[in-house]
Structure 1
Amino acid sequence: MSLFWRIFSLNAAGLVLAAALLLGPVTVSTPVLPAEALVVVVGLAVLLAGNALVLRIGLASLRRLGGAMAAADLLRPGPRAVVAGPAEAAELIMTFNTMLDRLEAERATGAARALSAQERERHRIARELHDEVGQTLTAVLLQLRRVADRAPDGLRAEVGQAQEATRAGLDEIRRIARRLRPGVLDELGLASALRSLATEFTAHGLTVRHHIVGGLPPLTEETELVVYRVAQEGLTNTARHAAADRAEVRLRPVADGVELLVRDNGKGIDAMPVGAGISGMRERALLIGAVLAVESRPGRGTDIRLRIPATVPGDR
């Protein structure tokens, strides 16, 4: 029954009952007698209490809907609001649930396209850095070597410094290219890529240990890339913001799939706003139907867990 008919029926019943009583045994004198006033007050109180009860019951579903709307997060899909209550409220809840389903589907599709375009752009930039800038610096390094052989003793030290700077720049270009497009992931697989990633971040006072369990279920190329990018982003956040000296990367099979854990002993992130890095990791997790959980302990570090289900949706 709709909220309108609930309130109307209650008010109509109260007015009909009051009219029947006034036409029957109940009378009102002038001046009003105390007993008559008591009957009118009690009747009015009963009518108001009934209206309040009907409104509270009828609006409870709207309050639940308001709570569901306030808690809705497209990056953290959760249970839908329960369809209950008067017809108007039930229809509104159904409309909201349908809209939320559509928004989540559209966001997942848009995020998939954006991340796919991002990976293609990373691949293009990495190839240009390696083929163009890397080859140019290699040629410069060879020319400096020939110059160093012919340079007088007074300039040989400066030419050597230029060689070292060029060699350092070439190494940095290669490192950036590897981070943009991890060739080891395509060539040797996810386990080797994660070990190489841990080795790469073991520098500047940070020690990264890795524990990659064998016997992992087969994963799609997209899933392996998401796992690698989440581990990469987690270690990047640790190196830049966590003030940690130890971190670890774990990849192991679990009962319902595969779990990636990136843990550090830094200062935690509870007091820090969620940045683009964590949001990007959540978007990547949604693309493969995975669940990302960030657990932070102030002063005791942060855990980033990516739980990949055993059966990955084929349409993703």
Structure 2
Amino acid sequence: MSLFWRLFLLNALVLVVATALLLGPVTVSTPVLLTEVAVLVAGLAAMLIADAVLLRIALAPLQRLTRAMTTTDLLRPGPRPEAGGQREIAELITTFNTMLDRLEAERATSAARALAAQEAERRRIAQELHDEIGQTLTAVLLELKRVADHAPPPVGDDLRQAQETTRASLDEIRRIARRLRPGVLEELGLASALTALTTEISAPGLTVHQHIAGDLPPMGQDTELVLYRVAQESLTNTARHSGARRADLTLHRTATGVELRVRDDGHGLGRTTEGSGMRGMRERALLIGARLTLGPGAHGGTEVCLTVPVGEGRT
């Protein structure tokens, strides 16, 4: 039973007992007159209605606080409930808002550390793939070529087939290393990195189109990395799960910053729950104060939109 109904029924019980006493041993006339009964019942009804209205007004801030508590998501920051009502209720709402501020700050700090560690581990793995496995496969490829050139035709043909398989494996390792550590992002910038990304994403029947504006404002490394990772995750999900035939990546300037939009014509999200990839995109967006929306597109499929404020003091 809610607090409102507990208080209301308690007050109603007191009023009903008082009315019953007036109709019984405490009545002003014996026997009870019908006019007295009518007046007492009307008075009781008026008092109950006034009591209900006053309690509803007094407890309204608690109801707003309850809704805020049940709908708050640290990955989707929203407006705080207004600290209104009586002093105790206002203090409760203020305490709740302070707790949310602290939780969001702690989440942002822990997420930043986790994502920084993730990027460092990606760089380490990419470096090892390039330096260790890549060089080893290159040596194997050269050795196969040397042996195939001096082998008799039947054996030489088999060795050349093995050489092609090794070359394909080497190309795949280099592609994985580039996805783990986008060196082109550091060397040539965001526009070139996104262009390279759209050419690397592949799936049967999928065509990726990119539209990148040439007047993008200066952005820090963290902002560019978040934009790249969100685009990478969105296109990867499109290639793996959407069944789309076309995807469009758009990056353009806005009045307050830049906007990245990735849309496809696939079967959409449906009732799919958000996985670690989508949550990772939201965490990255919050790190740079960006706003991420993910849902159905205007003409079907899925649309991911990342709005990034870029200006003085932004990185």
Question: TM-score if structure 2 supplies the norm length?
Answer: 0.88
Tell me, yes or no, if the aligned pair for 1:231 and 1:262 is still in contact at 8 Å.
yes
Q: Does 1:94 align with 2:101?
A: no
SS at match of 1:31: coil
Q: Supply the distance in 1 between the matched residues of 2:121 and 2:68 (Cα, whole angstroms).
A: 38
Q: Supply the distance in 1 between the matched residues of 2:72 and 2:174 (Cα, whole angstroms).
A: 43
The runs of at least 4 aligned residues of structure 1 exceeding 6 Å deviation read none
Per the TM alignment, residue 302 of structure 1 is displaced from its structure 2 partner at its CA by: 1.4
Q: Deviations over 1:183-214 (max 9, x none)?
A: 10011011100100011115532111111111
Tell me, yes or no, if the aligned pair for 1:258 and 1:307 is still in contact at 8 Å.
yes
Q: Deviations over 1:220-256 (max 9, x none)?
A: 0000000000000010010001101111111110111
Deviates more, 1:267-276 or 1:122-131: 267-276
Q: Deviations over 1:244-282 (max 9, x none)?
A: 111111111011111111111111113322222111111
Per the TM alignment, residue 43 of structure 1 is displaced from its structure 2 partner at its CA by: 3.0
Per the TM alignment, residue 121 of structure 1 is displaced from its structure 2 partner at its CA by: 0.3
Q: Does 1:160 align with 2:123?
A: no
Tell me, yes or no, if the aligned pair for 1:267 and 1:299 is still in contact at 8 Å.
no
Per the TM alignment, residue 27 of structure 1 is displaced from its structure 2 partner at its CA by: 5.3
State the number of aligned residues.
Answer: 300
The aligned counterpart of 1:249 is: 249
SS at match of 1:226: helix
Q: Supply the distance in 2 between the matched residues of 1:37 and 1:28 (Cα, whole angstroms).
A: 11
Per the TM alignment, residue 36 of structure 1 is displaced from its structure 2 partner at its CA by: 2.6
Q: Deviations over 1:70-107 (max 9, x none)?
A: 22111111111011112222111111111111111111
Q: Supply the distance in 2 between the matched residues of 1:301 and 1:74 (Cα, whole angstroms).
A: 27
Q: Supply the distance in 2 between the matched residues of 1:87 and 1:54 (Cα, whole angstroms).
A: 16
Per the TM alignment, residue 312 of structure 1 is displaced from its structure 2 partner at its CA by: 6.5
Q: Supply the distance in 1 between the matched residues of 2:205 and 2:275 (Cα, whole angstroms).
A: 24
Q: Supply the distance in 2 between the matched residues of 1:34 and 1:271 (Cα, whole angstroms).
A: 63
The aligned counterpart of 1:118 is: 118
Question: Structure 1's 124 and 279: CA in aligned 2 closer, same or farther, altered over 3 A?
Answer: same
Q: Supply the distance in 1 between the matched residues of 2:156 and 2:149 (Cα, whole angstroms).
A: 8
Deviates more, 1:52-61 or 1:121-130: 52-61
Question: Structure 1's 279 and 312: CA in aligned 2 closer, same or farther, altered over 3 A?
Answer: farther
SS at match of 2:196: helix
Per the TM alignment, residue 32 of structure 1 is displaced from its structure 2 partner at its CA by: 2.3
Question: Structure 1's 312 and 71: CA in aligned 2 closer, same or farther, altered over 3 A?
Answer: farther
Letter in 1 for 2:199: T
Tell me, yes or no, if the aligned pair for 2:195 and 2:210 is still in contact at 8 Å.
yes
Q: Does 1:207 align with 2:207?
A: yes
Q: 5+ unaligned residues in a row in structure 2: which ranges? A: none
Deviates more, 1:298-307 or 1:185-194: 298-307
The aligned counterpart of 1:37 is: 37
SS at match of 2:204: coil
SS at match of 1:252: strand
Letter in 2 for 1:161: Q
Letter in 2 for 1:276: S
Tell me, yes or no, if the aligned pair for 2:202 and 2:239 is still in contact at 8 Å.
no
Q: Supply the distance in 2 between the matched residues of 1:78 and 1:49 (Cα, whole angstroms).
A: 35
Tell me, yes or no, if the aligned pair for 2:290 and 2:306 is still in contact at 8 Å.
yes
Letter in 2 for 1:63: Q
Q: 5+ unaligned residues in a row in structure 1: which ranges? A: none
Q: Supply the distance in 2 between the matched residues of 1:162 and 1:49 (Cα, whole angstroms).
A: 88
The aligned counterpart of 1:234 is: 234
Per the TM alignment, residue 134 of structure 1 is displaced from its structure 2 partner at its CA by: 0.5
Letter in 2 for 1:221: Q
Tell me, yes or no, if the aligned pair for 1:148 and 1:160 is still in contact at 8 Å.
yes
Q: Supply the distance in 2 between the matched residues of 1:200 and 1:100 (Cα, whole angstroms).
A: 41
5 Å matches for 1:160-309?
A: 160-202=160-202, 204-297=204-297, 300-309=300-309
Tell me, yes or no, if the aligned pair for 2:203 and 2:240 is still in contact at 8 Å.
no
Question: TM-score if structure 1 supplies the norm length?
Answer: 0.88
Tell me, yes or no, if the aligned pair for 1:206 and 1:244 is still in contact at 8 Å.
yes
Per the TM alignment, residue 151 of structure 1 is displaced from its structure 2 partner at its CA by: 2.3
CA-based RMSD? 2.5
